[in-house]
Structure 1
Amino acid sequence: MKFGELGDLVVLTLRTPERAVRLLRDLDFGMAERWMIALLAACLSSLLAGIARQMFPPIASDPLSAILSVPLTLAGLQFAAMVLSAVAVTVIGRAFGGKGEFADALVLVAWVELILVGLQAVQLVLMLLVPPTATLMSLVAFGLSIYLTIALTKALHGFTSTPKVALGFIGGVFLVATILSILAAAFGILPEVSP
């Protein structure tokens, strides 16, 4: 796939997610290639986050911030989060009668992350040139990630109701957040809360 075709795929993903899912399935990636795409997305995202931290160091320091300041650790956490997301999308979707497979979910989660990496790069440039617009770009990226996750999950599983998928997404987010909070508390990496 050429660079220009990636741009076309981004536009197709935003306009017609169902066709984008079909096209990504038709590429027929092997399992090793799917893992490599997810790893690439995690590494690129962590690289940009590391550059942003160097350019704009955080004011506060806590255990979580210290962990996230190590690029390899951040890449590992992002990769694990993508795999967990792909598992959640597959398991929760199939529990409600969906037909999606983990292999396809992994590619779609990685694809969403790669799109967000593009926005992350734009945000980094905006932080330098027009700092106030960087916050707006963060909101755009957040909204886009939710939209793409819901739209691609719906297409992956062959669901017809967007509100039901959105409800499942919200429930899944709470479930994953609860699990991660318990793990973070067990390892003592939750940020300290002042009274």
Structure 2
Amino acid sequence: MTVSNLRDLAVLTIKTPAEASRVLLGMDIPREALWTGLALVAVLNGLLFTLSNLLVPGPSPLPEIFLVPALYTVVVAGGLVLTVYALFWTGRFMGGTGSLDDIMLTILWLQGLRVALMVVVIVLILTVPVLSALLVFAASIYGLYILLHFIDQAHRLNSLAKSAGVLVASMAAIVLGLTLLISLFGGPISGLSAYV
């Protein structure tokens, strides 16, 4: 199936995630453009996070250090890079054949959709707050289902159970890696101990 524009691909992603993933992976996008796209969605995440804090001020679940927009953007960018490499290597370890570009394109597209969702959520917070909470909850659950299909297609696993294994192993690897980094740099960062 061919998709004429990004809106059609977004709708296809919601309706038939596996098919949308195949269409997306069939696109020939240079790696430099993928890295640029990941940097762009990190910046957009930072801007929208800052905007939501300005429009709806209140206590944040994040440590105070992450409320600095530039630092938040760097953390998001680092998290995206870690996620790409974790999904790539754990997928390969579990028999997947996806390339780094396939995984990067998958994460870039899903993060792009997340940015669009954040815009809708901010509008709803200002107009219908209850609906915004329901949308976030539904998107979190259904987003996981979409992610499993995209991992499955990117790594050609032919099994949602295997893609779930890749996702769990990737998250475990990220947590382990971050724990090791924190311990190497002298224990918990100031202000983080209350959240661990």
* Structure 2: distance between partners of 1:76 and 1:82: 10
Change (3 A) 1:31 1:168: closer
Structure 1: distance between partners of 2:143 and 2:82: 16
2:29 is aligned to 29
Change (3 A) 1:189 1:165: farther
Q: Provide the C-alpha distance between the structure 1 equivalents of 2:16 and 2:59, rounded to a whole number of angstroms.
A: 41
Aligned pairs for 1:1-195 (under 5 A) are 5-59=5-59, 65-184=63-182, 186=187, 188-189=189-190, 191-193=192-194
Letter of the 1:163 counterpart: A
Q: Deviations over 1:142-194 (max 9, x none)?
A: 22332222110000011112123213312322332233344456451553439
Note if contact 1:45-1:75 (Cα within 8 Å) is conserved in structure 2. yes
- Aligned partners of 2:103, 2:6: CA distance in 1, in Å? 19
* Aligned CA distance change for structure 1 residues 184 and 120 (closer, same or farther; 3 Å): farther
Number of aligned pairs?
Answer: 189
For 1:164 and 1:120, the matched residues in 2 are separated by 29
Tell me if structure 2 keeps the 8 A contact 1:123–1:134.
Answer: yes
Partner amino acid, structure 1, of 2:151: T
Unaligned runs of at least 5 residues, structure 1 = none
Q: Does the 8 A contact of 1:99 with 1:158 survive in 2?
A: yes
For 1:30, the aligned partner's letter is P
Structure 2 distance, partners of 1:56, 1:88, is: 34
Measured in 2, the distance between the counterparts of 1:58 and 1:182 equals 32
Q: Name the amino acid aligned to 2:14.
A: L
Contact preservation (8 Å) 1:17, 1:155: no
Q: Quote the Cα distance in structure 2 between the aligned partners of 1:124 and 1:12.
A: 24
Residue identity over aligned pairs, in percent, reads 26
Q: CA deviation at 1:5?
A: 1.2
Contact 1:116 1:141 in 2 (8 A): no
Are the aligned partners of 2:64 and 2:191 in contact in 1 as well (CA < 8 Å)?
Answer: no
- Aligned equivalents of 1:141 and 1:50: distance in 2? 21
- Bigger drift between 180-189 and 77-86 goes to 180-189
Query: Over residues 87-125 of structure 1, what are the superposed CA-to-partner deviations in whole Å (9 max), with x where a residue is unaligned?
Result: 111101110111101112111101111111111111111
Q: TM-score, normalised by structure 2?
A: 0.85
Q: Aligned partners of 2:95 and 2:17: how far apart in 1?
A: 20
- Is the 2:42–2:74 Cα contact (8 Å) retained in structure 1? yes
